[in-house]
A and B are shown apart, each in its own frame.
Chain A
Amino acid sequence: GAGVSQTPSNKVTEKGKYVELRCDPISGHTALYWYRQSLGQGPEFLIYFQGTGAADDSGLPNDRFFAVRPEGSVSTLKIQRTERGDSAMYLCASSPDKYYGYTFGSGTRLTVV
């Protein structure tokens, strides 16, 4: 596609539930990044994929968070046993390689009630 697509744009879930957030990067972009942005803060790094493999997952806050990119294109961020503190905007970005800036999607606003 022309840009990075994230679905859903909004997700409201109950505490304790499982959620999946999807990112469809720009075609041909090998690098894919997930960030989380809370109100009044800058984007906070979660995980980075180069192709199918997670090259750096040091930003995942705990083992409730997991992400996959099985075919090197679409990625899914998975959050188990959601907590109210997980409420934030989840951003996905892609890049042709690490030497370029990122192109961001519009994000998924997650609200845990």
Chain B
Amino acid sequence: AQSVSQHNHHVILSEAASLELGCNYSYGGTVNLFWYVQYPGQHLQLLLKYFSGDPLVKGIKGFEAEFIKSKFSFNLRKPSVQWSDTAEYFCAVRGNTDKLIFGTGTRLQVFP
């Protein structure tokens, strides 16, 4: 069965700090990978996705993620966070079924 692990449950950063949120998945076949963000009081929004090709994927708002197949990882990065990046971030994987399996999320707090 597919599963997703997000090891960082709560991350606190100051503005301009660099961000890396971990995501590991368990599935041996071809995967599609996603990062979603949920800002306070808002619905889930797609940040970026990987289907194939270049393993370094760029998304909205300066976020990027790198697919490392050998490590079953799809970590999310941003060089310099802003207060407005305060949100909950969810990694998701789709393997041989049509449904996305989500991780438990990482809550990011950015202080000015």
Contact = CB atoms under 8 A, between A and B. Distances in A.
Interface of A: 31, 33, 35, 40-45, 48, 50, 55-56, 59, 91, 93, 98-99, 101-107
Contacts, number: 54
Interface residues of B, number: 24
B99 A48 contact: yes
B104 interface: yes
Interface of B: 4, 6, 32, 34, 36, 42-46, 49, 51, 90, 92, 94, 97-105
B94 to A, nearest CB: 8
Contacts of B92: 42
Nearest to B104: A42
A101 B49 contact: yes
Contacts of A106: 42-43
A59 B97 CA distance: 13
Given A91-B44, A104-B44, A43 B97 contact: no
Nearest to B99: A45
Given A33-B100, A45-B99, A106-B43, 6 more contacts: A42-B6, A42-B90, A45-B100, A56-B99, A93-B44, A104-B43
